[in-house]
Structure 1
Amino acid sequence: MRGFIFLMLAIAPTAVRAEDEDAGADIVVLGKGLSQTPGMPAYGSVTIDRNRLTNAASGRIENVLTDVAGFQQFRRSDSRSANPSAQGATLRALGGNASSRTLILLDGVPMGDPFFGYIPFSAITPDRIGQIRVTRGGGNGAFGAGAVAGTIELTSAGRDQLPAIAASALYGSRDATELSASISPEVGGGFLSLSGRWDRGDGFQTTPVAQRVAATVPARYDSWSIGARAVAPLSDDMELQVRGLAFRDTRTLRFAGADSLSEGQDASIRLVAHGDWQVDALAYAQLRNFANVVISSTTFRRSLDQRHTPATGLGGKIELRPPVGAAHVLRIGIDGRFANGTMFEDAYNATTGALTARRRAGGDQSTTGLFVEDDWTLGRLVLTGGLRADRWRIVDGYFHAATAAGVSTADNRFADRDGWAVSTRAGLLYRLSDAIALRGAGYTGFRLPTLNELYRPFTVVPITTQANAALALEKLKGIEAGIDLTPAEGLNLSATAFHNRLDNAIANVTIGTNLRQRRNVDAVVANGVELTAGWRKHAFHLSASYAYSHAEVDAPGQPFDGFAPAQSPRHAATATVAWEPARGPMLSATIRYISRQYEDDLQVDRLRSALTVDGVATVPLAHGLRLVARVENLFDTKVQTRNAGGSIDLGTPRTLWAGLRFEG
């Protein structure tokens, strides 16, 4: 928190110093990075606009992201009832093991936890975001080292999207409250935005009625976040962006005492130049922590206290776009990421409550990448290609265990590892006419195993999952082809067929009764089709998305060879219909479908398919004040989020919200 306070104190003078000496100068500060290059559409992408972000039934960004069919977390629950460490993000059914295979960037900064790889979704509030762009398939360019399943780029709202003052207060089912406020004044030629959000709830019962015991409690949650962002012009074509974030999220899951904590402080500074020589220079720091108490499902007493997991993430990039002629957009750059983390946990006898062991594990890892990419426009044809080379290191890994009396029982020091990984991508976009565009792309990518996967074993009773310090890098190869159609004004259609192969895929592999280990399997092979549609006619808006993903594990000789990867549905679809007039009431409804999937690698525990319906209505009252009503899971569908040998967890039931929103 001290670092965040320091940043807050630093922002104001930074913005004031940027005030232009010529009071009449008309300086436009976008508060964004460099513009999208001509070749980016060759890789296909889906955009979620701010209006959709600020009018979601749940008010949570991870649920909005499910508008992109094929997006999934490790489990189907959101940040009110999931363990934070299980909120990894992936695309294209490449399998889930709680770490993110999708690179999520906020204003260019990777958001994955430095130790676990999960995304702190509760800290990324929709009202601070201006736009989201989702690109499925292997990544390249800046920070491309983690984008084996795709890239999700979140852009903070600009001054043109932010009201000078905004506030909302909602009350929901089960004594839930959601409060948020922001102030975004102009400062000099730029702007300053300060925002805060607090939400809490008594929670719902994730446990089916037949499986509840005296120790069963609802999934209570309580979280807050504070954000600050300053954007200041340094000249007519150069701006400075400073951003800070502090958050804390506590949850109770399934049993009394099964409490988790996720907290952090992030800060970044970014210089963007839009002149002949375009520049995007970025530096960031992240301080994160995680804690979790595991309660035995048989004695309902504490069996594990993962009391402290401090982690640090540092990084930055410099990207240059030199003036090489109107037909070319050339990107040259270097980026780097460093992660360090340590786990402190205590094990207890679940019957007597006595301390039995103290364990500590951790290590360091880093990637430093050089990248170059060029887009070449030849009339209706755009060719694009990129090359990236990363130097990676995994060092100082260890696992130490001792008895309650302090007698060492394990003191493992793991060998340092390093190497080079080369990633490439190439694509083309050919516009047959203003209404038809063809595209195709091929790419490779890689992901380092997280410190959590390498060094931290864990238990979700009755299943224990062992760590594996020898895990190799995941490596992706993929191709895709697509067509984009605009047959009429306001109507957009898109189709993409893809083939992805993830070699050395990290999975939780069953090796005994109630015992798994993180291991590299030969590959996960995913083939599929993605369809999107959008239609806007006056105030009416329709958007829809469907993903068919036929994914299989390629592991000759293993009992799961040919099976679907764990947590990977074959079908996913979503559609939203909205009435959004410039004035008057706003109405929207969203329907989502996800097909059955399996909890485990051996396809023993199945999660049933689910269909849910959400709705939102807002009615203007007066002077920027609106009445807001929201409903989640209108028909109270029982959404299974976990099935461990018949022990079931359920997702969000029907939830009603009502409140007020002010923008002025």
Structure 2
Amino acid sequence: MISWPSLFLLASPITAFPADTIASVRTGEPEAATDVIVVRAERLPPDRSMPAQISLDQEALGSSIGLRLDEALRVAPGAGLFRRTPSGPANATIQGLSLRPIAPNGAGRALVSLDGVPQNDPFGSWVFWVRHDPLFLERVDIRRGAAGAGFGPLALTGTLDLIEARGGPPRMRLSAGGQGAVQLAARGSTIAGNGTITAMASYEANDGLIPVSPSQRGVVDLPADFTASTLTLVSEIPADNGQWSFRASGFEEEKGAGTLGGSSVARGADLSGARKLEGQWGQARLIVFAQTRDFANQTVSVSADRASVIPALDQYETPASALGGLLIYAQALESWSPRWILDWRHSEGETRELFRFIGNGFTRTRIAGGRQDLMGFGLDVPRLVQSDDEQMGLDATLRLDRWANGTAKRLETDRATGVVTLSERPVDREGQVVTGRVSV
């Protein structure tokens, strides 16, 4: 299990600017004209002529008006979270994303990636949307249904590709509102040697609303408050026939559940590196990444008159980590451009919780978890055959995946005596599956 320190962001005095203000310092002298060239190394060369793909730019994402990413995605047909509650006050376990008419669940059945790196939680597969402020994104590419088949078993209902913005002038958004709402996001880049460094940071706080109607409230009902902060550093360095890029990020969020004794805390950190190569033979990109997450959640049982609560579960720790890599090779052939994909992801995690509240405290401890390894090799051929006017085409995908689940366990112990009351250790399992897709 990877261990990472918690991330804390210190707020310094700021000056309020209107939403989507670009901050700049002028000396009174005319600025020299500068041509800025931004080179992006995307996971796969996009084929935006595909009817199954939808692209949302910064305007559609509402980067200037403070929309959260999950709220901005509501404009996309078929995209939705497990619950309609916005991600701000909502518990992380109900923020799974679905992109096709398959019954959604809290974990989510769509692959969310940021410049090629999976963003789904290694243990629960949900997404912490607070990490991805639209101000930091250049665009979002959505592939619904089978259009995401080339991205592996995590993309059951499709894929959501987040493309981060780099370069350009600094940008800042500061907003405030009722219920103590404050939202700050800023992004800026600077030249360092022959490369660039981009920094992105955000902070959000809200005293929240009481989620129970006034006629039904009791003394245990409280506002569902929350605070969240993120910090990201990206370095891009030109290299022979391509470039190197490195990314480090961290986040922390704290939420109230709207009832006395109910709350949740989540934190995590990511490290990734990528190398892009291109030439007459085509393009290739290698990505490696490491991730760590932790999540704590306290739930309570509310009495019928909403005058008292009884602790129901103390999920005091949910450590999870992931290691992975991805290699994409896009051939440059005369009539079509096949893309070869090789990816691997190792993830592990467990939930550690107290339950069975009797008298003045919890009497049992539960630890459950395991590990999973996924490795896949695929071939994706957009426009294998197309009409003369290029308005219709035949796309094909073939993929082989191997999976392995191991070290699964569920251990329950009496806290007073240390006696094991339940011990389950399912046998390790593994297998492989071949999937294919042909679409017009």
TM-score interval (norm. to shorter): 0.7 to 0.9
Equivalent-residue separation in structure 1 for 2:246 and 2:113 (angstroms): 15
Equivalent-residue separation in structure 1 for 2:394 and 2:171 (angstroms): 44
Work out which of the residue numbers 397, 401, 415 in structure 2 matches 1:404: 415
Equivalent-residue separation in structure 1 for 2:70 and 2:36 (angstroms): 35
- Number of the residue aligned with 1:386: 397
Deviations 1:43-101, CA, capped at 9 Å, x for gaps: 52111101333446443111011110221111111222111111100022311220111
Work out which of the residue numbers 313, 327, 332 in structure 2 matches 1:318: 327
In the TM superposition, residue 184 of structure 1 has moved relative to its aligned partner by: 0.7
In the TM superposition, residue 147 of structure 1 has moved relative to its aligned partner by: 1.2
- Number of the residue aligned with 1:358: 365
- Number of the residue aligned with 1:203: 208
In the TM superposition, residue 333 of structure 1 has moved relative to its aligned partner by: 2.5
Asked if 2 retains the 8 angstrom alpha-carbon contact of 1:327 and 1:377, the reply is no
SS at match of 2:291: strand
In the TM superposition, residue 188 of structure 1 has moved relative to its aligned partner by: 4.0
- Number of the residue aligned with 2:15: none
- Number of the residue aligned with 1:246: 250
Asked if 2 retains the 8 angstrom alpha-carbon contact of 1:104 and 1:110, the reply is yes
Asked if 2 retains the 8 angstrom alpha-carbon contact of 1:141 and 1:371, the reply is no
- Number of the residue aligned with 2:31: none
- Number of the residue aligned with 1:112: 120
SS at match of 2:244: strand
- Number of the residue aligned with 2:434: 422
- In structure 2, the gaps of 5 or more residues are 8-34
In the TM superposition, residue 42 of structure 1 has moved relative to its aligned partner by: 3.7
Deviations 1:598-634, CA, capped at 9 Å, x for gaps: xxxxxxxxxxxxxxxxxxxxxxxxxxxxxxxxxxxxx
Are residues 331 and 369 of structure 1, via their aligned partners in 2, closer, same or farther at CA, if it must alter by over 3 Å? Answer: same
AA of the residue aligned to 2:401: D
Equivalent-residue separation in structure 1 for 2:371 and 2:410 (angstroms): 13
- TM-score norm. by structure 2 comes to 0.86
Asked if 2 retains the 8 angstrom alpha-carbon contact of 1:28 and 1:189, the reply is no
Equivalent-residue separation in structure 2 for 1:276 and 1:384 (angstroms): 24
- Number of the residue aligned with 1:123: 131
In the TM superposition, residue 360 of structure 1 has moved relative to its aligned partner by: 0.4
SS at match of 1:93: coil
Deviations 1:141-192, CA, capped at 9 Å, x for gaps: 6532211111111100032xx42x3333221110111122232113344421
In the TM superposition, residue 311 of structure 1 has moved relative to its aligned partner by: 0.1
In the TM superposition, residue 400 of structure 1 has moved relative to its aligned partner by: 0.4
Equivalent-residue separation in structure 2 for 1:37 and 1:74 (angstroms): 28
**1:299-378 correspondence runs (5 A):** 299-323=308-332, 325-349=333-357, 352-375=359-382, 376=384
Equivalent-residue separation in structure 1 for 2:149 and 2:227 (angstroms): 37
Deviations 1:246-282, CA, capped at 9 Å, x for gaps: 0001100120220101110011111112322310111
**1:10-159 correspondence runs (5 A):** 28-33=37-42, 36=45, 38=47, 41-55=49-63, 57-140=65-148, 143-159=151-167
Work out which of the residue numbers 190, 193, 200 in structure 2 matches 1:185: 190
Equivalent-residue separation in structure 2 for 1:27 and 1:124 (angstroms): 25
- Relative contact order (alpha carbons < 8 A, sep ≥ 6): 1 or 2 greater? 1
**1:425-444 correspondence runs (5 A):** 425-427=437-439, 440=440
Asked if 2 retains the 8 angstrom alpha-carbon contact of 1:302 and 1:353, the reply is no
Are residues 123 and 297 of structure 1, via their aligned partners in 2, closer, same or farther at CA, if it must alter by over 3 Å? Answer: same
Asked if 2 retains the 8 angstrom alpha-carbon contact of 1:137 and 1:150, the reply is yes
Are residues 221 and 37 of structure 1, via their aligned partners in 2, closer, same or farther at CA, if it must alter by over 3 Å? Answer: closer
How many residue pairs align between the two structures? 401
Asked if 2 retains the 8 angstrom alpha-carbon contact of 1:142 and 1:317, the reply is no
Work out which of the residue numbers 284, 292, 311 in structure 1 matches 2:289: 284
Asked if 2 retains the 8 angstrom alpha-carbon contact of 1:27 and 1:189, the reply is no
RMSD: 2.2
Asked if 2 retains the 8 angstrom alpha-carbon contact of 1:347 and 1:356, the reply is yes
AA of the residue aligned to 1:221: F
Equivalent-residue separation in structure 2 for 1:28 and 1:411 (angstroms): 59
Equivalent-residue separation in structure 2 for 1:421 and 1:81 (angstroms): 39
AA of the residue aligned to 1:401: E
SS at match of 2:337: strand
In the TM superposition, residue 126 of structure 1 has moved relative to its aligned partner by: 1.1
**1:541-620 correspondence runs (5 A):** none
SS at match of 2:72: helix
Are residues 274 and 29 of structure 1, via their aligned partners in 2, closer, same or farther at CA, if it must alter by over 3 Å? Answer: farther
Are residues 357 and 182 of structure 1, via their aligned partners in 2, closer, same or farther at CA, if it must alter by over 3 Å? Answer: same
Equivalent-residue separation in structure 2 for 1:394 and 1:425 (angstroms): 26
Equivalent-residue separation in structure 2 for 1:190 and 1:142 (angstroms): 32
Equivalent-residue separation in structure 2 for 1:183 and 1:57 (angstroms): 19
Equivalent-residue separation in structure 2 for 1:369 and 1:190 (angstroms): 33
Asked if 2 retains the 8 angstrom alpha-carbon contact of 1:106 and 1:153, the reply is yes
AA of the residue aligned to 1:412: E
- Number of the residue aligned with 2:406: 395
In the TM superposition, residue 426 of structure 1 has moved relative to its aligned partner by: 1.8
In the TM superposition, residue 385 of structure 1 has moved relative to its aligned partner by: 1.3
Deviations 1:380-401, CA, capped at 9 Å, x for gaps: 3543212100001111110000
In the TM superposition, residue 312 of structure 1 has moved relative to its aligned partner by: 0.5
SS at match of 2:400: strand
In the TM superposition, residue 301 of structure 1 has moved relative to its aligned partner by: 2.8
Equivalent-residue separation in structure 1 for 2:350 and 2:266 (angstroms): 15
- Number of the residue aligned with 1:263: 267
Is the deviation greater in 55-64 or in 28-37?
A: 28-37
Are residues 123 and 362 of structure 1, via their aligned partners in 2, closer, same or farther at CA, if it must alter by over 3 Å? Answer: same
Are residues 409 and 218 of structure 1, via their aligned partners in 2, closer, same or farther at CA, if it must alter by over 3 Å? Answer: same
Equivalent-residue separation in structure 1 for 2:249 and 2:157 (angstroms): 26
Percent same amino acid among aligned pairs?
A: 27
Asked if 1 retains the 8 angstrom alpha-carbon contact of 2:63 and 2:133, the reply is no
Work out which of the residue numbers 203, 223, 233 in structure 1 matches 2:228: 223
In the TM superposition, residue 244 of structure 1 has moved relative to its aligned partner by: 1.5
- TM-score norm. by structure 1 comes to 0.58
- Number of the residue aligned with 1:295: 300
Asked if 2 retains the 8 angstrom alpha-carbon contact of 1:312 and 1:340, the reply is yes
Are residues 141 and 158 of structure 1, via their aligned partners in 2, closer, same or farther at CA, if it must alter by over 3 Å? Answer: farther
Equivalent-residue separation in structure 1 for 2:4 and 2:347 (angstroms): 20
Equivalent-residue separation in structure 1 for 2:242 and 2:186 (angstroms): 30
Equivalent-residue separation in structure 2 for 1:56 and 1:300 (angstroms): 41
